[in-house]
Amino acid sequence: MLKTIIKREILEYLKSAKFLIGLAVTLALAAGSTVLNVQDYKGRLQDYQSATQEMKNDRFYIHLYRPPQVLSTLIQGKDRKLGNSVTVTYLDIPSTTSGYMGEGRSQRRRLVSGFAAVDFAFVVRVVLSLMVVFIAYNAVSEEKSSGTLKLTLSNRVPRDQLLIGKLLGGWFVIMGSLAVATLVSLILVLSHSFIAFGAGEWTRLLAFVGLSALYLTVFYALSLFISVLVDRPSISLMILLQVWVLLIVICPNLGIIAAENFDKLPSPEQIEHQKDAAFQPYEAEFKKVEDVFNQGVQKGEVSKEVSIRNIELWATKANLNHQVDEEYGRKLTAQTNLAQAISSLSPAVLFDQAAERFGRTGMAGYERFMQEVYRYWQQHVERTKLMYTDHEAYNKAPAIAFNIPAEPAAEAFAATWLDWLLLAFFALALFALAYTAFLKKDVR
Amino acid sequence: MKTIIGKELLDHLRSVQFAVLLAASVLLFAMNGLVFVQHYTRLRADYQKAIATVDQQPSTTMTRLYRQPSPLQFMAEGGEKSSPKGCWLRPKLTLSPLPAETVNFKMPDIPELDWAFIIKIVFSLYVILLAFEAVSGEKERGTLRLVLSNPVGRLRLITGKYLAILAGAAIPLAVGLLVSLLIIGILLPSVLSLPNLARVAFFFILAMAYLSLFGFLSLLFSSLIPRSSVALLVLLSFWILFAFFIPDTASIIAQRYSKVPSEYEMAKLVGPTLQNEVFGRVRKVVERIKKGELKTEKEARDEADSAYEEGQDIVRKLYDDYDNDMRERAALARRISRASPAALFEYAAEAVSETGPTAEARFFRDIRNYSRIYDDYILKKVGKVVGTSPWSFSMGTTVNGKYVSLESPWPQEYQGDKSDFPRFSESRPTFLDGLESGLWDIASLLVWNILLAGLAFSAFLRTDVR
């Protein structure tokens, strides 16, 4: 019986104009955005490869580059917007990246601001979720208003089987659309020779598709619930579209506004003040050593001890500044987390958060890069000291390796478990509501 | 006609869509007002503190020029948050941007909640929801046949429907705008000056022109497609295309198809330019010293100074050209995005609000004018205007057996009285200036309206009402 209901439902959907239009729009947007993002990734990759090859032997200004992420072709996240380069010296560890590849965080950022990313994740978040609403808004209400619900249930069809049949039928259609859209985008990505997925990328991609499926299931269960609750299909569609706008367009904005007001950040002046205060105990010695060092340079003779102490003090200053910057960075993260917690009622926010993590295009990848920059800087300071203690060793010192440790996929799962859980909870809760409402429904 | 509009409007007013739109409008516009008041108060205080510091520290080596925050940011923010607060200006129009206000870059990239966003995204969607079944819904219910069997012309009926849709959107919009204005008016009365209110009024007209376009689009598809739900799906596809897809992909397309080098390629050009254009010239001076053509230290320094100046001009040009190319690329992205009426509305709204790239370009024009006055002042006080770039250089040599470090010249600080230091003031664009810069966008919105009106009316006149 269940099989018959599912089969009938699937056939109904596949024949409907709304499914065909929805699928066509989805495929067109997924393909268009993927082609553009692949081209964009190619340019950034070329820049990155050429940059890393050139700047290996620098000893003072050292340029470190953040590689563009291959999954940004599907989940753009913040990959283009965060800067991709950092220049360190033993005098200074920058607190943020600046822009070389891509367009983010450079002084020209203003010229490109206002343009957000359109990618496969956007297609899932906006286009497919809308299609889900259209597929399911009249699943029950249409049958009730046309009178077929009464007829169907007058046969020997248990109510729960009918609902489960309906649910599964529609769900298979949605998952099929997601699979086709993913396949089209994936073919477009993998048809380029400069793109290769490793095992890590495949796992992440699978997780992302799973996440998308869960996200769409939430909207599906929601649509089904409203469809059971409201008898007139046109009204259930109106309600669903309004909830959709609230969850996808308005909710993320509300979270940010609320977080910015509840959790104020220190001003740049306060940060500077903190940095000055942290270095205060060394200030007198620093000035003295700096004077002796500069006088020595002018005379052409600087003692080894003064030179080393000079580097040590500069490095201490840079390190203390870095600690203040780190603390500020943690406050930024806390504010961001608060914004996301406030708006976590929106499945779109949960989806985005987890998708960026799996695409390695969110803040986590950036933080890992900055941690590696710090580790590199510490080694760089030690190497610079050799200049005065053992010049030969300094000259022979090999280039310091700069390897950003790749995040294991398991870590991404561990970081996003709450997002998965909340999405699963929403889906189950809404389905349970739909189920009970349907069992109690007056079908006449 | 009056009866048709009255009946249609009454239908809208009683609908769920209308109630939700009204509530959403009040909520969103109230939030916009509250956020703006807080943000603008801080921006204005920062600005006043900054210009007071500049007034206290007049300098002939470099000065800071700050941009006044636009009081109409609540209408269209126009990327002001990521724009520099102003510029460092050194002699010979050497500019470097002052940092933009600090924003939490870890936050998700969500558009600003300004009036333009609320109207562009939320209201356009609601116009579709109000209008998608205007024709197809009546056809489905069979009432269209009945209505047209009365002595009511089709043209009249569709005009009535269109006007009712527009009124259905205008009421919540007007309520929302009033809520926002009320909050701003009470907490920051100085923002709502008479000229600014004129801009607000024009913004409302602009918003209605934008929403009207979605009204026509909805009537068109409602007449063409007999099933309301399918008509709605098609309309929502257009909405996604206009509101998100076209504007957001324009930047990547522009980057792909404009010939501007990437920032990294640009950075690679800097090294060779410094070597060839600056050190190359100074090396020639050093060779002449070695050949004995320049005999005294003063002669050597004078020659080196002019070699550095020529080199610095070229280095500065490299940066200026790149900035101009990037500006061109951004302009190209905006031109591409103009395929979407949502972008046209956004840019017209920025023009009316004096925000966005046009306003920034005006600020830079003011800086160029001021730079001439600044250079004249330096010439009068110091006697010499020295051009620099983001780089300074030095090269060592020996003149008559004495080691001399030839350094790139740096502007000198005038030590005397600087009470006559010229003050920088921004030009105040009039309402007409704003209209002029947004003219093409406003005109294009009207063309969209005319085009869609023509299509919608002819589709309805030809539709089979049975």
Q: Does A346 touch chain B (CB under 8 A)?
A: no
Q: Within a 13 Å sphere around the CA of B377, how many CA atoms are in the beta-carbon half? A: 25
Q: CA distances (Å), A246 to each of A254, A346, B112, in order?
A: 10, 8, 16
Which residues in chain B have their CB less than 8 angstroms from residue A242's CB? Answer: 16-17, 20, 24
Query: Quick count: other Cβ atoms within 10 Å of Cβ B324?
Result: 11
Would A294 be classed as within a structural domain?
no
Would B413 be classed as within a structural domain?
no
Do B226 and B359 share a domain, yes or no? yes
User: A425: which residues sit within 8 A by CB, 6+ positions away?
Assistant: none
Give the residue carrying structure tokens 């389905």: A431
Do B240 and B388 share a domain, yes or no? no
Would B393 be classed as within a structural domain?
yes
Put residue B88 in one of left, alpha, beta given phi > 0 → left and psi -120 to 50 → alpha: beta
What residue type is A336 in one-letter code?
Answer: T
Residue A55 phi/psi, 5-degree rounding, is -110, 50
Which residues in chain B have their CB less than 8 angstroms from residue A239's CB? Answer: 16
- Contact predicate B45/B4, CB 8 Å: no
How far apart (Å, rounded) are the C-alpha atoms in residues B8 and B130? 10
Which residues in chain A have their CB less than 8 angstroms from residue B106's CB? Answer: 329, 332-333, 335-336, 363
Domain that holds residue A342: 2-274+310-440
How far apart (Å, rounded) are the C-alpha atoms in residues B140 and B222? 11
Would B414 be classed as within a structural domain?
no
Would B124 be classed as within a structural domain?
yes
How far apart (Å, rounded) are the C-alpha atoms in residues A115 and B244? 9
As given in the structure block, the two tokens for residue A33 are: 């955005």
Query: Quick count: other Cβ atoms within 10 Å of Cβ A398?
Result: 6
Q: What is the DSSP string of B325-357?
A: HHHHHHHHHHHHHTTSHHHHHHHHHHHHHT-HH
- Contact predicate A359/A205, CB 8 Å: no
Do B105 and B194 share a domain, yes or no? yes
Average pLDDT over residues B352-377: 92
A112–B251 C-beta distance less than 8 A: yes
User: B83: which residues sit within 8 A by CB, 6+ positions away?
Assistant: A110, B67, B100, B360
How far apart (Å, rounded) are the C-alpha atoms in residues B167 and B435? 25
- Contact predicate A57/A399, CB 8 Å: yes
Do B60 and B198 share a domain, yes or no? yes
Q: DSSP character for B415?
A: -
Which residues in chain B have their CB less than 8 angstroms from residue A32's CB? Answer: 245, 249
Closest CA to B141 of B331, B324, B11: B11
As given in the structure block, the two tokens for residue B260 are: 């501007």
B104–A130 C-beta distance less than 8 A: no
> How many domains, chain B?
2
Put residue A273 in one of left, alpha, beta given phi > 0 → left and psi -120 to 50 → alpha: alpha
As given in the structure block, the two tokens for residue A419 are: 């997002």
Q: Which H or E run contains A88?
A: strand A85-88
Burial classification of residue A281, based on how many CB atoms lie within 10 Å of its CB (0-12 exposed, 13-18 middle, 19 or more buried):
exposed
Q: DSSP character for A247?
A: I
- Contact predicate B219/B161, CB 8 Å: yes
Q: Does A35 touch chain B (CB under 8 A)?
A: no
Which residue of B lies nearest to A238 if distances are taken between CA atoms? B17
- Contact predicate B236/B128, CB 8 Å: yes
Q: Which of residues 378-437 of B touch A (CB under 8 A)?
A: none
Q: Does B83 touch chain A (CB under 8 A)?
A: yes
As given in the structure block, the two tokens for residue A103 are: 């367009």
Percent of chain B with pLDDT over 70: 98
As given in the structure block, the two tokens for residue B273 are: 């330019």
Q: Does A118 touch chain B (CB under 8 A)?
A: yes
Residue A340, SS3 per DSSP: helix
Q: Does B211 touch chain A (CB under 8 A)?
A: no
Would B248 be classed as within a structural domain?
yes
Q: Does A257 touch chain B (CB under 8 A)?
A: yes
Q: DSSP character for A248?
A: I
Q: Does A337 touch chain B (CB under 8 A)?
A: no
pLDDT score recorded for residue A123: 94
Which residue(s) pair with B96 in the sheet? B88
Would A288 be classed as within a structural domain?
no
What residue type is A175 in one-letter code?
Answer: M
CA-based R_g, chain B, Å = 30
Chain length of chain A = 444
Give the residue carrying structure tokens 């060592």: B396
Which residues in chain B have their CB less than 8 angstroms from residue A37's CB? Answer: 252
Would A210 be classed as within a structural domain?
yes
Q: Which of residues 281-310 of B touch A (CB under 8 A)?
A: none
How far apart (Å, rounded) are the C-alpha atoms in residues B456 and B214? 11
- Contact predicate A358/A211, CB 8 Å: yes
- Contact predicate A105/B262, CB 8 Å: no
Q: Within a 13 Å sphere around the CA of A441, how many CA atoms are in the beta-carbon half? A: 27
Q: Does A440 touch chain B (CB under 8 A)?
A: no
As given in the structure block, the two tokens for residue B397 are: 């040599």
How far apart (Å, rounded) are the C-alpha atoms in residues B191 and B197? 9
Question: Which sign, positive or negative, has the C-alpha torsion B200, B204, B207, B213?
Answer: negative
Do B271 and B126 share a domain, yes or no? no
Distance, in angstroms, between A57 CA and closest chain B CA?
15
What residue type is A293 in one-letter code?
Answer: F
Q: Where are the alpha helices (DSSP H) in A360-398?
A: 363-389, 391-396
Per-residue pLDDT tens for B83-99? Answer: 888 999 999 998 888 88
Would A302 be classed as within a structural domain?
no
Q: How many interchain CB pairs under 8 A, A with B?
A: 177
Q: What is the DSSP string of B348-398?
A: HHHHHHT-HHHHHHHHHHHHHHHHHHHHHHHHHHHS------S---EEEEE
Would B50 be classed as within a structural domain?
yes
Query: Quick count: other Cβ atoms within 10 Å of Cβ A173?
Result: 25
Query: b/e map of A143-172 (b: 16 or more CB within 10 Å)?
Result: bbeeeebeeebeeeeeeeebbbbbbbbbbe
- Contact predicate B80/B73, CB 8 Å: yes
- Contact predicate A316/A282, CB 8 Å: yes
Q: Does A138 touch chain B (CB under 8 A)?
A: yes
pLDDT score recorded for residue B284: 93
Burial classification of residue B318, based on how many CB atoms lie within 10 Å of its CB (0-12 exposed, 13-18 middle, 19 or more buried):
middle
B12 pLDDT tier (thresholds 50, 70, 90): confident
Do B197 and B94 share a domain, yes or no? yes
Do B298 and B217 share a domain, yes or no? no
How far apart (Å, rounded) are the C-alpha atoms in residues B82 and B103? 8
Q: Does A267 touch chain B (CB under 8 A)?
A: yes
pLDDT score recorded for residue A444: 64
Would A304 be classed as within a structural domain?
no
- The alpha carbon of A140 is separated from its chain's Cα centroid by a whole number of angstroms, namely 36
- The alpha carbon of B406 is separated from its chain's Cα centroid by a whole number of angstroms, namely 44
As given in the structure block, the two tokens for residue A266 are: 């220190």
Per-residue pLDDT tens for B242-277? Answer: 998 898 888 888 877 877 887 778 878 888 999 999
Do B354 and B230 share a domain, yes or no? yes
Which residue of A lies nearest to B346 if distances are taken between CA atoms? A114
Which residue(s) pair with B88 in the sheet? B64, B96
Per-residue pLDDT tens for B288-335? Answer: 998 888 888 888 999 999 999 999 999 989 988 888 888 888 888 889
Choose among A106, A134, A249: nearest Cβ to B233.
A134
Q: Would the pLDDT of B343 be above 80?
A: yes
As given in the structure block, the two tokens for residue B12 are: 């809208």
Q: DSSP character for B122?
A: I
Do B92 and B176 share a domain, yes or no? yes
Do B394 and B452 share a domain, yes or no? no
As given in the structure block, the two tokens for residue A387 are: 């200049």
As given in the structure block, the two tokens for residue B229 are: 């739900």
Would A280 be classed as within a structural domain?
no
pLDDT score recorded for residue A237: 85
User: B337: which residues sit within 8 A by CB, 6+ positions away?
Assistant: A115, B246, B247, B250, B343
Chain length of chain B = 466
Q: Which of residues 71-90 of A touch B (CB under 8 A)?
A: 78, 81-82, 85
How far apart (Å, rounded) are the C-alpha atoms in residues A239 and A251? 16
Do B216 and B303 share a domain, yes or no? no
Q: Pick from B236, B239, B323 the residue to mutate for testing the A interface (most A CBs within 10 Å).
A: B236
Would B290 be classed as within a structural domain?
yes
Would A281 be classed as within a structural domain?
no
A237–B232 C-beta distance less than 8 A: yes
- Contact predicate B111/B100, CB 8 Å: no
Averaged pLDDT, groups of 10, chain A, 444 residues long:
83 86 92 91 89 76 89 91 85 82 58 70 93 84 69 71 83 94 96 90 96 96 90 83 88 89 88 94 92 84 85 93 95 94 93 95 92 93 86 85 89 95 96 88 68
Query: b/e map of B221-238 (b: 16 or more CB within 10 Å)?
Result: bbbbbebbbbbbbbbbbb
Which residues in chain B have their CB less than 8 angstroms from residue A256's CB? Answer: 107-108, 110
Domain that holds residue B398: 263-331+378-407
Would A290 be classed as within a structural domain?
no
Q: Which of residues 217-246 of B touch A (CB under 8 A)?
A: 227-230, 232-234, 236-237, 240, 244-245
Q: What is the DSSP string of B47-94?
A: HHHHHHHHHHS--SS-EEEEPPPPTTTTT--TTGGGSBSEEEEETTTE
As given in the structure block, the two tokens for residue B285 are: 């001076």
Do B274 and B347 share a domain, yes or no? no
